[in-house]
Amino acid sequence: MRMRHSAEPVPGTGFIDPAVLARIGNLQLVARNVVDGFINGLHRAPWLGLSLDFAEHRAYMPGDDIRRIDWRLYARTDRYHVKEFEADTNANFVVLLDTSASMGWASGAVTKFDYARFLAASLAYFSHQQRDRVGVITFGTDIVDYVPASARHMDVLLHTVDRSRAGGGSDLTRALRSVNELLRRRGLVVLISDLYDDPARVLAAVSPLRFRGHDVIVFHVLDPAELDLPFDDALSLEDVETEEQLPVVPDQLRLRYRELVRTHCETLEREFTNQRIDYALLDTSQPLDHALFSYLAARERLSRSR
Amino acid sequence: MPLQFLAPLFLIAAAAIALPVVLHLIRREQREATRFPSLMFVRQVPHRVTRRRRLRDLPLLALRVLALLLLAGAFARPLLERERGVAAGANTGPREVVILLDRSYSMARAGSWERALAAARAEIDGLGGGDRASLVGFDANAALLSPPGADRVRLRGMLGELRPGDAGTRFDPALRLAGSILAGSPLARREVVVISDLQRIGAGEGIEAKLPPGATLRVVPVAPSAGRNLALGAVSFGRERFAGQERITASARVVNPGAAAASVTVTLEVDGRVLASRSANVGAHAAAVVPLPPFTLAAPVRGRVRLEDDALAADNAWHFALAPDQATRVLVVAPDAGASLFLERALEVGGEPGFRVAAQRSLPASLDGYDVVVVNGAALPGGAAAQALRRWVASGGGLVVALGPASGAATAEALLPGAPGQLVDRTQGGGAALGYVDLAHGALELFRTPRSGDLTAPRFYRYRPLRIPAAGDSAVRVLARFDDGGVALAERRVERGRVLAFASTLDRSWNDLPVQPIFVPLTHRLVRYAAAVAPLIPAHVVDDVVDARAAAHADEQQPLLVVAPSGARTELPPGARALPLAEAGWYTVRAADRADDVLAVIASNVDVRESEPAALPGDELITVATLPGAPGAPLQASAVPLEERERRQSLWWYLLAAAIALLVVETVLSNRGRRAAARIQEGR
């Protein structure tokens, strides 16, 4: 799944420009704007009423929790029945947010980290609306902040995401190893990162989450300038994490650079797909709708599987 | 429609397009590093830091280059030549025809003039409806006889009045006049027709005149008749005194340019009387000098040497005018008899007129009867004698003073251009030489031309440099200086007389001047200049310009009347001197108020070179006188000055407006691109 290429927005949704969102200071408001706008635009939402909606009664079977016996019905019919609900919506939803320095870069109004924060907040808000337990883990070379998944942690999550800042180095392998130890209960794990690492190492870091039974969605966030290298004059580029400098003539290496980036992304997508991990490449100039749609598709699949 | 530029030098500014090209090649490397999320991919690309020159921002570059080109073009002030009408009319439109008719005396050869007139009439008859024609008569000079127009009757009438003159042929003035007529013509087709016997003398040293580009030149040669023609080249006169009278011996030079030997009779006429006839045989392509018997010259005479009639009459007569006793009377005053030996001998040598020299040791009381007094190393008189000398000089006498050991320091100094200075002895060291000579001065201009005499050759061992007053005296002029700056020769005008002072002697006591080749001509020039004697020339050539006032010995204020051989009368107002000779024969110069009183007779003859039958090929004349170019080039355009046409078209304004518009577009695009680039490269 590569949502970046879906040029057509979801029918009825408004265009939510990340640059506009960046002007909204309140992250909850941002998330609500994104999610509510998105939901209101949908004609059909198969997951509405999933959470505590009554489905049917069935006869009490030995072993059933006696707390689930409908005593009112017993009073009327003198038979034991238990209430059935359509689904259990209390899944874990955990966002893994990359806070390395490279995420703080932008060629336009929105840094990758801002974009990632909007995305994380929006997804968390959305899940919270579904009564999921939401949590967040920010990481650089290791875990920075950890908010365990809980139905009551939405505010904490938003606060944590809001105050987090991009900086420092990045070690995906080490960070995700720690994350894997923290996430005991399986659920939906969303990784938001620019994934500046060798695809094999990225896959080696992410795959254990999948092996633990998590549904994993990887949002690969990149700036348009990282995809195109639009510089004109000869210049020295400085790595924001390592501060290494390299003199380059963009005209000369642009084509090769784009090819390398494209190969990198295609490799990641292919390998993640093989591991049944959803992968979406996000361009910070693109609306958040794409990310949400990607998430919802995965969420729907998850609900069906239960 | 070719493009012209009024100020083409501004096009050099178009080279400024190299500037944006270079700027677009330059890749400005950022001084500060640009932050970038990761160099993971950049590092994997093998790259060279060496820059490859490649043009960037091609649209911007194109805008800038185009704007610069338009600006340069605007400043060069372009204008368009509208030649569509020209090209169409170049072969079919009306013509501007200039007929150049040769009226030199060679055209008077039997039959030539009639053929020339017939050719001219044929040209006039051949004019089309819209054609315009003008008639120019030329010999050594050119005259516009009929201005450009379509009046054929007038042209024909003018032809009827024309006769060959006495002058020779020169093509340059005629072609220049034709060129100026064509340049002002509004017609597309322009043509010059030369009707001439094409005497080679007409080309002179070379034809420099060029017709306007595109004008055509057509030559109608008038071949001379095959009849015999002998010419009198020149007549020389020898003077000698015999039995107290002056005797003239004339020698005539007869030229036979023909291919057959001829016998000829040469006749000498003096004052209308035939004095002698001599027969001579002249070989083919040869000349013969025929001596004529001497005759006595007691009074001014006008004479003529002539041959019998042949095909060309104009070159059969040689007119002359002679006056007796033209020798300059010179008194040489020297302290001793041998001191002026060299000077006296030099003055006795030849000359026309010569010198009649008398020598004395001191100035006589009266100087009447002398034209020039040469004081060679003797003391100048003082007191009353000095006053008398001054009066004599003021009345027109000439005084040449050569300073020597006996020259006084205080006597008659007022006459000299400067006081004689202290004696300078240069016997040690090889003597002094002349360091500066005013060759523009009349006394020394003979030595102006190359190889005419080296005035720096004489060595002066002793001299007394003249002390010229520092305050400028317009009557005093320095003619020569020694190599140490001392004044060697100076002139002072004293009313009508001239005084020349020489700082050394005119003998061998103080210098080696007398043994130098220039001694004889120098002394002749100095004495003649001091005497203000005009050289007597017995005969001139048509086209010469003579000083009529000098020939008549008339002062500046006297009005003169000149009667030409044809009887035409010309008045010379006070101050006017020049008399151009246009006819062969005798010009008489008379006092305007006494027309019967002939003051001078000036003889004028045809230029015998015109008799040479050698003709210039018509093709050669066409080649040297025409310029390559599209037929009928400038036309109407040339009638209107370039500046005016450029002002009317004002193309520069449009170019400037276009350049400004391009620059505005360039500014907008450039700023937009720069802002975008800046946003990207700021990178957070």
The closest alpha carbon to B270, from B293, B241, B253, belongs to B293
Is B110:B225 a contact under the CB 8 Å cutoff?
A: yes
Q: Searching chain A, which residue's CA lies closest to the CA of residue B55?
A: A251
Provide φ and ψ at B283, rounded to 5°. Answer: -70, 165
To the nearest 10 degrees (0 to 180), the angle between helices B618-625 and B171-183 is: 50
Give the containing element (helix H, strand E) for B288.
strand B286-291
Across the interface, whether the CB atoms of A225 and B48 are under 8 A apart is answered no
Q: Does residue B375 register a pLDDT over 80?
A: yes
Of A104, A231, A248, the CB nearest to B684: A104
pLDDT at residue number B603:
92
| DSSP at A217 | E
Q: Looking at residues B240-247, what average pLDDT do you find? A: 78
Provide φ and ψ at B190, rounded to 5°. Answer: -130, 135
Beta strands B189-196 and B216-221, pairing class: parallel
Q: Looking at residues B114-139, what average pLDDT do you find? A: 89
DSSP 3-state assignment of B495?
Answer: coil
Across the interface, whether the CB atoms of A245 and B680 are under 8 A apart is answered no
Q: Looking at residues B482-488, what average pLDDT do you find? A: 92
Tell me: the pLDDT tens digits for B539-558?
A: 888 988 888 887 887 877 88
Who contacts A93 (Cβ-Cβ below 8 Å, separation ≥6)?
A: A123, A124, A127, A132, A133, A134, A135, A149, A187, A188, A190
Distance from CA of B18 to the nearest CA of A (A): 20
List, as one string, the DSSP characters of B392-423: HHHTT-EEEEE--TT--SSTTGGGSSSEE---
Chain B residues with CB under 8 Å of A102 CB are 37-38
Q: For a pLDDT cut of 70, what percent of chain B falls above it? A: 89
Q: Searching chain A, which residue's CA lies closest to the CA of residue B54?
A: A251
**Residue pairs between chains A and B whose CB atoms are closer than 8 Å:** 107
In which band, very low, low, confident or very high, does the pLDDT at B638 lie, cut at 50, 70 and 90? very low
pLDDT at residue number A8:
37
Count the neighbouring beta carbons within 10 Å of the beta carbon of residue B110.
15
pTM summary value: 0.48
Q: Does residue B671 register a pLDDT over 50?
A: yes
pLDDT at residue number A240:
86
Name the range with the highest mean pLDDT among B5-19, B513-527, B547-561.
B513-527
Determine whether B210 is exposed, middle or buried from the number of CB atoms within 10 Å of its CB (0-12, 13-18, 19+): middle
List, as one string, the DSSP characters of A115-153: HHHHHHHHHHHHHHHTT-EEEEEEESSSEEEEEEEETT-
B241: its two tokens: 């005194």
pLDDT at residue number B138:
92
Distance of CA B557 to the CA centre of its chain: 29
Is B252:B326 a contact under the CB 8 Å cutoff?
A: no
In which band, very low, low, confident or very high, does the pLDDT at B194 lie, cut at 50, 70 and 90? very high
Tell me the average confidence (pLDDT) per consecutive run of 10 residues in chain A, 306 residues long. Answer: 36 48 57 57 36 72 86 92 68 90 88 90 82 89 90 87 89 90 86 92 91 88 90 82 85 87 93 88 82 67 50
Chain B residues with CB under 8 Å of A249 CB are 27, 47-49, 51-52
Q: Does residue B637 register a pLDDT over 70?
A: no
Residue type, B294: P
Across the interface, whether the CB atoms of B683 and A249 are under 8 A apart is answered no
Average pLDDT of chain B, as a whole number = 83
Distance from CA of B26 to the nearest CA of A (A): 9
Q: Does residue B400 register a pLDDT over 90?
A: yes
How far is A80 from A8, CA to CA, in rounded Å?
Answer: 53
pLDDT at residue number A24:
53
Which ranges of A51-111 does DSSP label H, i.e. alpha helix? 71-77
Chain B interface mutation, best of A246, A258, A283, highest count of B Cβ atoms under 10 Å = A246
Which residues share a beta bridge with B138?
Answer: B102, B142
Lowest-confidence segment of A108-122, A186-200, B398-412, B483-497 by average pLDDT: B398-412
Q: Searching chain A, which residue's CA lies closest to the CA of residue B38?
A: A239
Is A218:A197 a contact under the CB 8 Å cutoff?
A: no
Of B30, B45, B679, the CB nearest to A108: B679
Across the interface, whether the CB atoms of B37 and A234 are under 8 A apart is answered no
Distance from CA of A111 to the nearest CA of B (A): 8
Of B33, B37, B41, the CB nearest to A102: B37
Tell me: the pLDDT tens digits for B154-182?
A: 888 888 888 898 888 889 999 999 999 98
How far is B325 from B300, CA to CA, in rounded Å?
Answer: 10
Q: Looking at residues B329-335, what average pLDDT do you find? A: 89
Provide φ and ψ at A198, rounded to 5°. Answer: -65, 135
Q: Does residue B424 register a pLDDT over 50?
A: yes
Across the interface, whether the CB atoms of B28 and A234 are under 8 A apart is answered yes
Provide φ and ψ at A4, rounded to 5°. Answer: -60, -30
Across the interface, whether the CB atoms of A251 and B37 are under 8 A apart is answered no
pLDDT at residue number A4:
36
Chain B residue set in contact with A, beta carbons under 8 Å: 27-30, 33-45, 47-49, 51-52, 54, 56, 677, 679-681, 683-684
Q: Looking at residues B574-590, what average pLDDT do you find? A: 89
DSSP 3-state assignment of B10?
Answer: helix
pLDDT at residue number B87:
41
B255: its two tokens: 């030229």
How far is A96 from A190, CA to CA, in rounded Å?
Answer: 6
B680: its two tokens: 């990207």
B126-129 contacts, C-beta under 8 A, 24 or more apart: B127/B95, B127/B97, B127/B152, B128/B94, B128/B95, B129/B94
pLDDT at residue number B646:
77
Beta strands B34-36 and A235-239, pairing class: parallel
List, as one string, the DSSP characters of B572-621: E-TT--EEE--SSEEEEEEETTEEEEEEEEEEEE--GGGG---B--HHHH
The owner of tokens 């300038």 is: A225
